[in-house]
Amino acid sequence: MKETITQLLDTAVATLQGAGELPADLSPAIKVDPTRDKAHGDYATNLALVLAKPAGCKPRDLADKLIAALPENDAIRRTEIAGPGFINFFAATDAIAGIVSQILDAGDTFGRSLIGAGEKVQVEFVSANPTGPLHVGHGRGAAIGDCLCRLLEATGFDVTREFYYNDAGAQINNLMRSVQARAQGLGPDDEGWPEDGYRGDYIADVAQAYLSGETVTADDREVTAKADPDDGDAIRAFAVAYLRREQDLDLKAFGVEFDVYFLESSLYAEGRVEETVNALVAGGHTYEADGALWLRTTDFGDDKDRVMRKSDGDYTYFVPDVAYHYNKWQRGFTTVIDEQGADHHSTVTRVRAGLQALEVGIPQGWPDYVLHQMVLVTRSGVEVKLSKRAGSYVTLRDLIDEVGRDATRYFLAARRADSQLTFDIDLARSQTNDNPVYYIQYAHARVCSVLRKAENDGLAFDHGVAMANLERLDAPQEKALMNRLARYPDSVERAARAREPHQIAQYLTELASDFHTCYNAQKVMVDDAELRNARLALGLATRQVIGNGLALLGVSAPEEM
């Protein structure tokens, strides 16, 4: 429908150009939008407003000429000029209803597109170090990152989900010492407890499992405990595997799985850190000062230069970061998206600067970032601190157990990443029935219920009858619903381009609202078989689109509630 109108306008512009009414060298991007207000018809364009200046005439006069030049088309019932010069299009009912058969034909593929053209895209998200259970912030990253991946897959990209973590640095040594202390029977407040040790109870669980010789299997590794409390290397390997397994279980329970687990240690083992340092030095962007090696990141927009190699000889985290991203580039990912908490936003400039300093042809502004703002967790009106070291933070597991997977995912993915999020646990638990996700799921379950009833009444859906009578769907609520359904592919594309999964949640809420309105206004199971089948078709189409959309969010579409 939208394409039809765009085409008609395109023809009209060409006609006016031929007649000398419009400059011939003009090739305007014709924008046709669904209207927000039914009084404005089904679609509208601002074309006359945009072209008024180059055409040298008043917008409304130009709109007149454009309409006069529009080719005849059965899909358009009538047009009108409104406001400053908008052209409103009122579509014929059967033209609107055509979307129903399109959806039923396309099924699960409705809304999918090929704009990604198979391009390799990597999305790195969560990337929590294996020093403790995942917290709510990781949950938000997991929800946004995974939904983003689903969106990119739906728009034709070849997506790799990647999880990067440090399995060998100072933090891991701290983890090892903490587990060792627990294995020796020490508590966080006892003498001999390591400074800045991880105080959480889970450390005791790790120690216990280690001492009992347990074997743990994470997605990317399997380790059997040596049970020797003096073997630091064995403890370290076991603790990492144990916590990785715990994170994997939480992520699975959240509906998130990764294709690649990338270890920071591998960058050292494979000489990639050395290689990166050498390349940076060779590039001439480094210098030595105060016994350290610096990178002149200020050449690339950073506000101060950064130390690469400390005076003690160790590299700062920033070097493996650059090496890692260089490796992503070498693996052929033309588009890389890093989803991470905004508290790490300073790495953005730094990593990009490091990549530019390599001078290996990586574009400026590569990679892309999606940064989510902090999640504030409250319980009983009191903020719960997110510090791992304090050991008292709300885990993703807590939320899944208390709130449920669907609601947690929806809650964390339904808002713009840019906005801060207060996750009130009491509210999330007590308001379970008020959560918008149930509003959407309920619409899905309601359609299913009607279809079941049709089946039970021996009045099963007849596709042929339905398709022959789609023009019977002419109630205003039905038209609104169909127009909404028609917008779904655009919504998916727009959300994918903007990297904003929350737009899908928004769309689904509006779609569910249109459906509920329709459901209350028009009874489906009427005696008139032609009308009934047409309405059943509309129900099927609605169910399909809600299901497709919820799948993008990783939220289930229940058949009954």
Partner RNA sequence: GCGCCUAUAGCUCAACCGGAUAGAGCAACGGCCUUCUAAGCCGUAGGUUGCAGGUUCGAGUCCUGCUGGGCGCGCCA
Binding to RNA (CB under 7 A): which residues in 133-172? Answer: 166, 169-171
Q: How far apart are CA 248 and CA 550, in angstroms?
A: 23
Residue 455 contacts RNA per CB under 7 A: no
Q: Which of 318, 326, 329, 333 binds RNA (CB under 7 A)?
A: 318
Residue 34 contacts RNA per CB under 7 A: yes
Give min distance, CB of 367 to RNA, in A. Answer: 15
Give min distance, CB of 503 to RNA, in A. Answer: 6
Q: How far apart are CA 67 and CA 79, in angstroms?
A: 8
Closest to RNA by CB, 405 vs 494, is 494
Closest to RNA by CB, 22 vs 204, is 22
Determine phi and psi for 121, rounding to 5 degrees. -125, 135
Q: Which of 360, 521, 528, 529 binds RNA (CB under 7 A)?
A: 521
Instruction: Find all residues with CB under 8 Å of 97, minimum gap 6, and list them.
Output: 470, 471, 473, 482, 534
How would DSSP label each residue in 326-388?
HHHHHTT-SEEEEEEEGGGTHHHHHHHHHHHHHTSSPPTT-SEEEEEPPEEEEETTEEEP--T
Among positions 424-443, residues that touch RNA (CB under 7 A) are: 431-434, 436, 438-439, 442
Instruction: Find all residues with CB under 8 Å of 289, minimum gap 6, and list them.
Output: none
Closest to RNA by CB, 127 vs 225, is 127
Torsion of CA 485, 489, 494, 499, to 10 degrees: 110
How many of the other CB atoms lie within 10 Å of CB of 319? 25
Q: Which of 378, 516, 530, 556 binds RNA (CB under 7 A)?
A: 516
Residue 298 contacts RNA per CB under 7 A: no
Q: Which of 35, 102, 113, 224 binds RNA (CB under 7 A)?
A: 35
How many of the other CB atoms lie within 10 Å of CB of 194? 17
Q: Which range touches RNA (CB under 7 A), out of 79-87, 177-185, 360-368, 391-399?
A: 79-87
Among positions 395-424, residues that touch RNA (CB under 7 A) are: 414-416, 418-422
Looking at residue 271, the DSSP 8-state letter turns out to be: T
Alpha-helix residue ranges (DSSP H) falling in 223-290: 232-253, 264-269, 272-282
Q: How far apart are CA 177 and CA 170, in angstroms?
A: 11
Among positions 264-293, residues that touch RNA (CB under 7 A) are: 264, 289-292
Q: Which of 68, 184, 523, 529 binds RNA (CB under 7 A)?
A: 523
Residue 6 contacts RNA per CB under 7 A: no
Among positions 235-264, residues that touch RNA (CB under 7 A) are: 264
Residue 82 contacts RNA per CB under 7 A: yes
Site string for RNA, 475-514 (x = CB under 7 A): ---------------x---x---x-x-xx--x--x---x-
Among positions 331-360, residues that touch RNA (CB under 7 A) are: 342-347
Q: Which residue has the tokens 């480094």?
A: 286
Instruction: Find all residues with CB under 8 Å of 443, minimum gap 6, and list them.
Output: 511, 512, 515, 516, 519, 542, 546
